Amino acid sequence: MLESDMLPSPLDSSTSYLSTSTIVALCLFFALLCTCVIVGHLLEENRWANESITALFLGLCSGVVVLLVTKFHSTKILIFNEDLFFLYLLPPIIFNAGFQVKKKQFFKNFTTILLFGVLGTVISFCLISLGAFLLFNGIGITNLGIKDHLAIGAILSATDSVCTLQVLSQDETPFLYSIVFGEGVVNDATSIVLFNSVQSLNFSSINAITVLKLLGTFLYLFCTSTALGIIVGLLSAYIIKTLYFGRHSTDREVALMMLMAYLSYMIAELLNLSGILTIFFCGIVMSHYTWHNVTGNSRTTTKHSFATLSFIAETFIFLYVGMDALNIDKWKTSKASIGTSVAVSSTLISLVLIGRAAFVFPIANIANCIKTRESTKVEFRSQFIIWWAGLMRGAVTIALSYNQFSKSEIASAEDSALMITSTIILVLFSTVVFGSVTKPLIEAVKLRHSKPDISGSTDNQEDLRLLFLESNSSVNQRRSTLSLLRHYPTTTVHCFWRKFDDKFMRPVFGGRGFVPVAPGSSPAEDEIS
Amino acid sequence: MLESDMLPSPLDSSTSYLSTSTIVALCLFFALLCTCVIVGHLLEENRWANESITALFLGLCSGVVVLLVTKFHSTKILIFNEDLFFLYLLPPIIFNAGFQVKKKQFFKNFTTILLFGVLGTVISFCLISLGAFLLFNGIGITNLGIKDHLAIGAILSATDSVCTLQVLSQDETPFLYSIVFGEGVVNDATSIVLFNSVQSLNFSSINAITVLKLLGTFLYLFCTSTALGIIVGLLSAYIIKTLYFGRHSTDREVALMMLMAYLSYMIAELLNLSGILTIFFCGIVMSHYTWHNVTGNSRTTTKHSFATLSFIAETFIFLYVGMDALNIDKWKTSKASIGTSVAVSSTLISLVLIGRAAFVFPIANIANCIKTRESTKVEFRSQFIIWWAGLMRGAVTIALSYNQFSKSEIASAEDSALMITSTIILVLFSTVVFGSVTKPLIEAVKLRHSKPDISGSTDNQEDLRLLFLESNSSVNQRRSTLSLLRHYPTTTVHCFWRKFDDKFMRPVFGGRGFVPVAPGSSPAEDEIS
């Protein structure tokens, strides 16, 4: 190139407005993201790999390259940033999950989800804390206080809903998906309460009232977060329906949906609620009302752009975790021998395995005893998959671990660093090993083929019953609903909800069938059910 | 609420993972963005207001409220951040402009656009610098060096393409839109060269070679930036066509398009090129090739989601500029009397008016002399609108002004602060006054109704000629093309390009008509032309 020889002074010095390190980091990340998308596409048919594992490996590899290039010095590009994760990466993922979730399936299993998410997390938290307390002294980690042990319990009880989304398929195993993912969302609220309590409770005066207070906090957090999400969702539906945005531009509708969804998360965080619960329910309400009030183009756009943003955020997180695994400062600080590291990590992994087994199987069997109909019971192989699919730990665990141990007040910085590196090993191991085995495991126990049929036929029976109920409702409504409520509680509640929805909610907030379809607009080809 | 009385300790202290100030700022911004969207929708029919003016006013109002609430202390929420602007807000806007631009119209006026964008900017830069040098001493600003005067020239020559996009309509005044917006994009490359040169040139030895070198730099910058954008765009088309992403998921296609577009901008910034030019041409190539290789759903999604992201970024910028206007520290530092502030600001505004008039009218008339056909000439009222619509200065001006004057080495911090506050006044004034008058002005000179007809009929004539040319091509190709090239250069170049495109480019990179349409996919209702 001749021009490059003629390059005058203006371009020689770096006179750009932007700092070079930021640009280099962004370039690297976006190039890696593109690679992940392409490699993930090529590996689509491979049943052992998935996008998160690809991203983890690519992150690890590039982390190694960066370390080699910078000669084991610069690790600034790799440091995990909690703000980035909680403010920008997590909200789109959870919102999209709520937006695309099969609502019928989700609410049908609501009781089971709550049991797993609340009771299960508490059991797991207690067991892991106790295990850490008893076992760590044996390995030689003596500098951790009771707060740290309890924090470990809370950190390791936070399941990774992001990874679950990638491993389980909503279409192939709808029942398992709704249970495991729903549990993950509720689990988040529980973890927040537990983690915050651990950090701020005064442990000199623990009594029955403290436990009651914790329960009260959880109820408060759960109800207010959910209510906030529902209110913001309904508000968006009302505004879009009343002002009829589509008249002028489809972009304004899409923008308003995005902005209000994100706003709900931010308000929840501002009020110290669970932003994840809020944005999840906001997504559900938006897909039920708001989505039906917008033009056909907006429907297609929102459906796919929310999914795309969520997909990019997920890939970004795993890349990030992969690169972060080589946080060389922490590895240097911990000074632990390989033996100690392996011992601590495998202890943590065993505790996670036991802690989850200790609540999945008992709770599932208790739930089975309560249920009357054979088809809704959770059979053993499903229980096994629920146990297995919830073993993965991801970015939430790492973020919480940094939060606890990078500014811990305990004397030894070495043990704190060891905890962080062990958490990283746990996350890598669980994502790669548990994650890659889940798909083949589901195929092996043949849930893929048997479960949808059962679930489908159940749905059909219920739908028939619903029709029957509605046609006879004028004649002997009181008797039939009472007896139905006793025998088929979920169906009856659903039926009441439908009536309420059609009579009061949809006329105000819009929804399927309650918004006139403009003749020019082409509807999205497959509806969100 | 009973629960709130029972709130135990965990929620009393702020134990969130995130810093409260960030959350408050984000909450405020997103709430304001939602308000902007709604108010902008309600004011849609109003011809004086537009979204940018609404956003500016809302930003100003909330800035006042924040100042009052914090009792004139905290201004952290309001500080303009160059990184945020150049890394995250500008790229989606310019990419979307390239993606949605009417390519035929743009390339037809390419020579005129280049003349305005390069020669015009240089003329404006010289005049404004000279004017500032001569006039500022009279007002009493004596501490600015020659570099500062030249920097003022470069800063005030950077037109605001974002605001132009909002004021001019591509559908109603396609000719003016392509000229003014195209000029804005080319102008960016010129401004970068000028600004960087001013900051790094050694002024003790200015001679003819320096000027030649500057010209060389500009050519280098322009060609490499454009080439980079085209290469990345073609690469995305090739990858998506070859790997056939739509087979598995529409989200991956959309993600890859977004990521590669952003990557092109980042690579350009990394290589110290003009990222804006690169991402603009990347957008053009993507809309010509890549967009036709994806599924129907992806087409609708990309078209609307890029527009939405651009819309959000635009609104955000104007909100930001509005809030930033109350950067109380700078106002305190400048210590200038109201008289001096007004004098400096009005001097700057007059210089911008004169500087633009000094190139728009001469260049337009020179271009008219060269053109042979009456219909392609730029009539006087169009020249007037071009002059007027390019007077607005926006976020780029503010960003450059901070860059120059917040870390200036000159002795007086007061004069620097005065320059920044005066720039802010200029931006507010030009956006509100010039911006709000443009729409009524266009209506007043009745360009809205006369121009599209002329342009439409011209297109038809040319299309007929193209058809004629293609049908006769086998008989007397050589003679007819030669004579056509002389009489209708643009049309003939376009014809050659079409043949080359159909023969070599589209078979490799895909494009309209070169990708088999899957039977299930519904095409986007209105194509990008």
| pLDDT confidence tier of residue B436, bands split at 50, 70 and 90 | confident
| pLDDT confidence tier of residue A268, bands split at 50, 70 and 90 | very high
Mutate to test the interface with A, among B14, B21, B37 (most CBs of A within 10 A): B37
pTM to 2 decimal places: 0.82
Start-to-end C-alpha separation, chain A: 58
Q: Given this model, what pLDDT does residue A11 score?
A: 31
Q: Which residues contact A344 (CB under 8 A, 6 or more apart)?
A: A136, A139, A141, A336, A418, A419, A422
Q: Which residues contact A54 (CB under 8 A, 6 or more apart)?
A: A36, A39, A40, A43
Torsion of CA B152, B153, B155, B156, to 10 degrees: 110
Q: Is B73 exposed, middle or buried (0-12, 13-18, 19+ CB in 10 A)?
A: exposed
Q: Given this model, what pLDDT does residue A15 score?
A: 41
Q: How far, in Å, CA of B395 to CA of B322, rounded?
A: 10
> How far from chain centre, in Å, is Cα A347?
25
From chain B, pick out residues whose CB is under 8 angstroms from the CB of A221.
11
From chain A, pick out residues whose CB is under 8 angstroms from the CB of B84.
none
Q: Given this model, what pLDDT does residue B235 score?
A: 94
Q: How crowded is the C-beta side of B483, counted as CA atoms within 13 Å? A: 6
From chain B, pick out residues whose CB is under 8 angstroms from the CB of A22.
83, 87
Looking at A174-178, A484-488, B66-70, B200-204, which range is the least confident one?
A: A484-488
| pLDDT confidence tier of residue A528, bands split at 50, 70 and 90 | very low
- By the 8 A CB rule, do A436 and A47 touch? no
Q: Given this model, what pLDDT does residue B455 score?
A: 43
Q: Given this model, what pLDDT does residue B519 score?
A: 41
Residue that wins the pLDDT comparison between B510 and B476: B510
Answer whether residue A88 shows pLDDT above 90. Answer: no
Answer whether residue B10 shows pLDDT above 70. Answer: no
Cα A408–A411–A414 angle (5° rounding)? 80
Q: Given this model, what pLDDT does residue A267 score?
A: 94
Checking A65-73 for CB contacts under 8 A at 24+ apart, the result is A66/A28, A66/A323, A66/A326, A67/A326, A67/A328, A72/A328
Mean of the pLDDT values across residues A469-495?
59
Chain A: residue nearest B254 by CA?
A308
Q: How far, in Å, CA of B113 to CA of B180, rounded?
A: 8
Answer whether residue A149 shows pLDDT above 60. Answer: yes
**A304 min Cα distance to partner chain B (Å):** 6
Report CB contact under 8 Å: B200, A9: yes
Answer whether residue A140 shows pLDDT above 80. Answer: no
From chain A, pick out residues whose CB is under 8 angstroms from the CB of B15.
196, 199-200, 272
**B278 min Cα distance to partner chain A (Å):** 15
Q: How far, in Å, CA of A513 to CA of B380, rounded?
A: 54
Chain B: residue nearest A36 by CA?
B256
Looking at A347-351, A444-448, B510-514, which range is the least confident one?
A: A444-448
Residue that wins the pLDDT comparison between A12 and B262: B262
- Provide the residue count of chain A: 529
From chain B, pick out residues whose CB is under 8 angstroms from the CB of A243.
38, 41-42
Chain A: residue nearest B260 by CA?
A34
Query: From the list A9, A82, A216, which residue is nearest B3 (CB)?
Result: A216
Mutate to test the interface with B, among A13, A23, A214 (most CBs of B within 10 A): A23
Range with the largest mean pLDDT of A245-259, B38-52, B267-281: B267-281
Report CB contact under 8 Å: A297, B300: yes
| pLDDT confidence tier of residue A449, bands split at 50, 70 and 90 | very low
Query: From the list A37, A196, A522, which residue is nearest B15 (CB)?
Result: A196
Chain A: residue nearest B215 by CA?
A8
From chain B, pick out residues whose CB is under 8 angstroms from the CB of A40.
252
Q: How crowded is the C-beta side of A436, counted as CA atoms within 13 Å? A: 13
Chain A: residue nearest B4 by CA?
A220
Answer whether residue A479 shows pLDDT above 80. Answer: no
Report CB contact under 8 Å: B403, A27: no
Write the pLDDT tens digit of every residue in A295-304.
888 899 999 9
Q: Given this model, what pLDDT does residue A418 score?
A: 84
Q: How far, in Å, CA of B488 to CA of B475, rounded?
A: 20
Range with the largest mean pLDDT of A259-268, A333-342, A343-352, B473-482: A259-268
Mean of the pLDDT values across residues A144-170?
78
Mean of the pLDDT values across residues B114-139?
87
Report CB contact under 8 Å: B3, A220: yes
> How far from chain centre, in Å, is Cα B484?
35
Report CB contact under 8 Å: B259, A304: no
Classify residue A528 by its DSSP letter: -
Write the pLDDT tens digit of every residue in B167-198.
777 777 788 888 888 888 778 767 777 777 77
Q: How far, in Å, CA of B461 to CA of B455, rounded?
A: 10
Residue that wins the pLDDT comparison between B204 and A174: A174
From chain B, pick out residues whose CB is under 8 angstroms from the CB of A37.
252, 255-256, 259
Across chain B, mean pLDDT equals 77
Query: From the list A26, A42, A270, which residue is nearest B87 (CB)?
Result: A26
**A461 min Cα distance to partner chain B (Å):** 31
Chain B: residue nearest A215 by CA?
B8
Mean of the pLDDT values across residues A15-44?
81
Going from the C-alpha of A140 to that of each of A344, A402, A418, B119, the distances in angstroms are 10, 22, 12, 74
- By the 8 A CB rule, do A143 and A410 touch? yes
Going from the C-alpha of A101 to that of each of A94, A226, A463, A500, B383, the distances in angstroms are 10, 16, 20, 22, 55
Write the pLDDT tens digit of every residue in B297-355.
889 999 999 989 988 988 888 888 888 777 666 677 767 778 888 888 899 999 999 99
Q: Given this model, what pLDDT does residue B483 score?
A: 64
Report CB contact under 8 Å: B252, A41: yes
From chain A, pick out residues whose CB is under 8 angstroms from the CB of B272.
11, 14-16
Report CB contact under 8 Å: A262, B12: no
Residue that wins the pLDDT comparison between B11 and A371: A371
Chain B: residue nearest A239 by CA?
B38
Report CB contact under 8 Å: B223, A38: no
Mutate to test the interface with A, among B272, B276, B278, B290 (most CBs of A within 10 A): B272
Write the pLDDT tens digit of every residue in A162-194.
677 677 777 777 888 888 888 887 787 677 777
Q: How far, in Å, CA of B389 to CA of B454, rounded?
A: 21
From chain B, pick out residues whose CB is under 8 angstroms from the CB of A242.
none
Chain B: residue nearest A309 by CA?
B255
Q: How far, in Å, CA of A135 to CA of A131, rounded?
A: 6
Write the pLDDT tens digit of every residue in A362-408.
988 888 887 766 666 778 888 888 888 888 887 778 888 887 787 65
Mutate to test the interface with B, among A7, A15, A46, A215 (most CBs of B within 10 A): A15
> How far from chain centre, in Å, is Cα B317?
12
Across chain A, mean pLDDT equals 77
| pLDDT confidence tier of residue A77, bands split at 50, 70 and 90 | low
**A56 min Cα distance to partner chain B (Å):** 18
Q: Given this model, what pLDDT does residue B520 score?
A: 42
Q: Which residues contact B108 (CB under 8 A, 6 or more apart)?
A: B178, B490, B494
Q: Given this model, what pLDDT does residue B77 score?
A: 61
Q: How far, in Å, CA of B233 to CA of A144, rounded?
A: 54
Residue that wins the pLDDT comparison between A218 and B157: B157
| pLDDT confidence tier of residue A529, bands split at 50, 70 and 90 | very low
Range with the largest mean pLDDT of A419-428, B79-88, B443-452: A419-428
Q: Given this model, what pLDDT does residue A286 score?
A: 93
| pLDDT confidence tier of residue A451, bands split at 50, 70 and 90 | very low
Chain B: residue nearest A269 by CA?
B23
Answer whether residue A233 shows pLDDT above 90. Answer: yes
Q: How many CB atoms lie within 10 A of CB B203?
A: 11
Q: Of B28, B36, B48, B118, which is closest to residue B441 (Cα–Cα)?
A: B48
Q: Given this model, what pLDDT does residue B514 score?
A: 67
**A100 min Cα distance to partner chain B (Å):** 13
**B185 min Cα distance to partner chain A (Å):** 18
Q: Given this model, what pLDDT does residue B505 score?
A: 83
Write the pLDDT tens digit of every residue in B346-387.
999 999 999 999 988 998 888 888 776 666 677 888 888 888
- By the 8 A CB rule, do B220 and B255 touch? no
Report CB contact under 8 Å: B30, A263: yes
Which two three-digit tokens encode residue B110? 């390419």
Chain B: residue nearest A198 by CA?
B10
Concatenated DSSP letters of A48-101: S--HHHHHHHHHHHHHHHHHHHTTT---GGG---HHIIIIIIHHHHHHHHHHHS
R_g of chain B computed on alpha carbons: 25
From chain A, pick out residues whose CB is under 8 angstroms from the CB of B399.
17
Residue that wins the pLDDT comparison between B23 and B282: B282
Q: How far, in Å, CA of A173 to CA of A377, rounded?
A: 15
Torsion of CA B402, B408, B411, B413, to 10 degrees: 20
From chain A, pick out residues whose CB is under 8 angstroms from the CB of B239.
38
Answer whether residue B457 shows pLDDT above 70. Answer: no
From chain B, pick out residues whose CB is under 8 angstroms from the CB of A34.
256, 259-260, 263
Q: Given this model, what pLDDT does residue B147 score?
A: 79
Chain B: residue nearest A521 by CA?
B525
Mutate to test the interface with B, among A269, A521, A527 (most CBs of B within 10 A): A269
Cβ–Cβ pairs < 8 A, chains A and B:
249
Report CB contact under 8 Å: B41, A200: no
Range with the largest mean pLDDT of A459-473, B89-103, B459-473, B511-525: B89-103
Which two three-digit tokens encode residue B492? 């003939």
Q: Which residues contact B342 (CB under 8 A, 6 or more apart)?
A: none
- By the 8 A CB rule, do B196 and B127 touch? no
From chain B, pick out residues whose CB is under 8 angstroms from the CB of A15.
196, 199-200, 272
Query: From the list B23, B214, B239, which residue is nearest A269 (CB)?
Result: B23
- By the 8 A CB rule, do A151 and A83 touch? no
Looking at A453-462, B251-260, B292-301, B342-351, which range is the least confident one?
A: A453-462
